[in-house]
Structure 1
Amino acid sequence: MDKPASAASPTATARPQRMRPELPPLSNDPAAVRQRVEMLERVLERSFKIPVIRRDVGLDAIAGLVPVLGDVVTAAMGAYVVWEARNLGMSKWQLWRMGGNVAFDTAIGAIPLVGDAFDFFFRSNTKNLKILRKHLDKHHPSSGVIEG
């Protein structure tokens, strides 16, 4: 007779569990939006550390090395952050600032070699996260995460 699906094998309980970041829920709740945007910013701007110079880089700088396609993909991901901000009801001025950060990063990042170096230093998604956090802290203070 087959074992029920809920029964765990003895070897499965002996293995150490890996720590995986939990994906935030897909809702318009300000706390969930904050988690999604923070996670996306981490992926785009500080996924990896370059050991020799101790500098964090992310998908934005790495994908920028792929002509056209890399810049289009990272621009779309940056635009997603602005879209999330719009759904939170942020002011048009804040949205224009955030959109300008993404547009500026995309325009300069598209220039061969110069754009790759620029992506290494200019972090539009970090700037946009700062704008979004300021809005959330003011208008949705309960969305803040208390870190222990």
Structure 2
Amino acid sequence: MDTEPAALGRIRTLAHLLDESVRVPGTSFRIGIDPIVGLLPIAGDLAMTLCSLYIVAEAVRLGVPKRTVVRLLANIAVDAVIGSVPVVGDLFDAYWKANVKNAELVAAAISDG
């Protein structure tokens, strides 16, 4: 049977991949594949939103409170809507890091529960 630590590990791994997996050369700033794939109009943003929704699905499976799920969805909605704006949205994606925020929310909900 799946455990909370294993599920949280998957969530954190995905969040890191999407939001922080690549260091920008010459800086300490990190981006993930979200803003990179998001450069592809419509399809890129849609694909990244679907990946982000995996974190929500895991959170629901883990039984996090509904208010936390709403916050997770709100973070993804902001990321999807603003991120879909050409160029500006990709820069926003690089800074917003909705998936890392969501991983932290899930971890906090699990430790509180």
Task: Report the counterpart of residue 105 of structure 2 in structure 1.
Answer: 131
Larger Rg: 1
The answer to whether the aligner puts 1:105 opposite 2:79 as a matched pair is: yes
Distance 1:98 1:49 in 2: 25
Structure 1 residue aligned with 2:68: 94
- What TM-score, normalized to structure 1? 0.73
Matches within 5 A, 1:21-32: 28-32=2-6
Q: Larger relative contact order (C-alpha < 8 A, sep ≥ 6)?
A: 2
Deviation track 1:11-52 (CA, whole Å, cap 9, x = no partner) reads xxxxxxxxxxxxxxxx53101101100110110011111112
Secondary structure at the aligned position of 1:134 is classed as helix
Aligned to 2:41, the other structure's residue is in SS state coil
In the alignment, is the contact (CA less than 8 A) between 1:33 and 1:84 conserved in 2? Answer: yes
State the aligned residue count: 113
**CA shift at 1:53, angstroms?**
2.7
Give every structure 1 segment of 4 or more consecutive aligned residues whose post-TM-superposition deviation is greater than 2 Å.
none
Q: TM-score, normalised by structure 2?
A: 0.94
Q: Which has the higher helix share?
A: 2
Q: Deviations over 1:47-74 (max 9, x none)?
A: 1111123211101111111111110111
Equivalent-residue separation in structure 2 for 1:56 and 1:121 (angstroms) = 9
Name the structure 2 match of 1:74. 48
Segments of 5+ residues of structure 2 without an aligned counterpart are none
Partner of 2:91: 117
Identity in percent: 32
- Name the residue aligned to 2:28: 54
Structure 1: segments with no counterpart, 5+ residues: 1-26, 140-148
